[in-house]
Amino acid sequence: MAGLKTGHYKNKAKKKQIPRFARDDNSSALFRNLFVFVKEITMLDLKGNKITYFGHSTFGLTTPGGQFAMIDPFVMSNPRCPENLKKLARLDAIFITHCHTDHIGDLLPLAKQFKPKVVATFETYLWLESKKTGAECLPGNKGGSQKVGDFEVTMTNAFHSNSIEDNGERIYGGEAGGFIVRLPGGVTLYHAGDTNVFGDMKLIGEIHKPDIALLPIGDVFTMGPREAAFATRLLGVKHVIPMHYATFPILTGTPEGFRAETKDIAGLTIHAIKPGETLG
């Protein structure tokens, strides 16, 4: 054996061809990470619906058929609302999460002008009916669903207070809530209202499977960025619009803080749209 040359042991089998990028460990890892990243991204397809941010917690929802609904009508008196949005051309429905002035500041004049369908918790409904606006008031409560034109809404829980300022008096408005809004094309939106994070957000995610969540991040009167990050995890959503921040100096939470708190959530897209901007 001592006289044998090392060449006698040469493997005559054909070598397996390996793609060039796979022979470089760094390149291979890069491609694997890129594949995982692309796979985790969930694109937001609103199916022709549009979400317009009026500032604070006020949003306009426009369907492909042209119907327009508003969540929490704080418009003309909203310091964050752009001037070009303060004159509405149409208003088919209003969904009220609760009755603090920074959420229904313009409810009565808009209800009188457009005579929309208004969904609110029962106590708020009674108060609004007493104002004789001509709007069609639709009472509801947590867990209940109803069809309102192109929209189907379900009222959800929220942890917050609720009262109505009426000519110097404070009137009980029922409990604060949030809304699941189902839009044409199968798009589901969750507006959390003013709230802290709560464990049953996991149930909201499992039952309703929202495509996008509108979450308060301003702190002090609602949850801040850290709690909103936990809410995002509980809901299991991949798209979030931050709201209820920057309207007043006391609201200290920011989209940047929210991004920092959610950097570990794979595939999450934060749509920090500015007042006057529209998704869809």
Q: Is the pLDDT of residue 35 over 50?
A: no
For range 135-150, the mean pLDDT: 98
pLDDT at 10: 40
Contact 50, 62 (CB under 8 A): yes
Q: Is the pLDDT of residue 172 over 50?
A: yes
pLDDT at 7: 38
Q: Is the pLDDT of residue 112 over 50?
A: yes
Amino acid of residue 219: D
Contact 128, 164 (CB under 8 A): no
Residue 88, burial from CB neighbour count under 10 angstroms (0-12, 13-18, 19+) = middle
Higher pLDDT, 138 or 22: 138
Amino acid of residue 237: V
Q: What is the pLDDT of residues 180-205, one digit of tens each?
A: 999 999 999 999 999 999 999 999 99
pLDDT at 42: 73
Q: Is the pLDDT of residue 9 over 80?
A: no
Higher pLDDT, 124 or 2: 124
pLDDT category at 24 given cuts 50, 70, 90 is low
* Helix axis angle, 201-208 to 225-235, nearest 10°: 40
The owner of tokens 């306009």 is 60
Percent of the chain with pLDDT over 70: 85
For range 144-158, the mean pLDDT: 98
Phi, psi of 189 (to 5 degrees): -115, 140
pLDDT at 4: 34
Q: Which of 208, 216, 205 is nearest to 253 (CA)?
A: 216
Please give the Cα distance from 37 to 269 (Å, whole number): 12
Q: Going from the N-terminus, what domains does the chain have, and what CATH number goes with each?
A: 39-279 (3.60.15.10)
Q: What is the pLDDT of residues 60-88, one digit of tens each?
A: 999 999 999 999 999 999 999 999 999 99
Q: Is the pLDDT of residue 6 over 70?
A: no
Amino acid of residue 268: L
Dihedral angle sign, alpha carbons of residues 209, 58, 227, 258? positive
* Secondary structure (DSSP) of 144-206: -EEEETTEEEEEEE-----EEEETTEEEE----EEEEEEETTTEEEEE--S----TTHHHHHH
Q: What is the pLDDT of residues 226-278, one digit of tens each?
A: 999 999 999 999 999 999 999 999 999 999 999 999 999 999 999 999 999 99
As a whole number, the mean pLDDT across the chain is 90
For range 11-21, the mean pLDDT: 45
Q: Which of 15-24, 35-44, 49-58 is the least confident region?
A: 15-24
The owner of tokens 């006289």 is 3
